[in-house]
Amino acid sequence: MKYLSMDDRLAKNRFDSDDHNSHIIVDKTACNTCKHRGCTYCCPAERYKWDTMSDKLIFDHVGCLECGNCRLICERLKQGVEGYAWNYPVQGRGIIFREG
């Protein structure tokens, strides 16, 4: 069986992404004080990564599957503390789910 990278797998979905306006906001500097970094484990699309070279969070909203896992695992996203916000993409943009 051919191994597909995450980018290959995400490319099998259809997106209408707003590349410049993220529907999820995280304060990557403040994330340095996070004790669990759960976002880097819970995202099925691997949108969150911890960069060991810079010791900083990397987040890319393009490719988000809108599952909500990060909002559940991150108390800052859940509570909407300053610098953090979780919303669905505006005007139905983002992933396009196939029905039927």
Return residues touching ligand SF4 (CB under 6 A).
24, 26, 31, 34, 37-39, 42-45, 47-48, 57, 64-70, 74, 76-77
Distance separating alpha carbons of residues 30 and 88, to the nearest angstrom: 22
Q: What is the 3-state secondary structure (H, E, C) of the chain?
A: CCCCCHHHHHCCCEEECCCCCCCEECCCCHHHHCCCCCHHHHCCCCCEEEECCCCEEEECCCCCCCCCHHHHHCHHHHHCCCCCEECCCHHHCEEECCCC
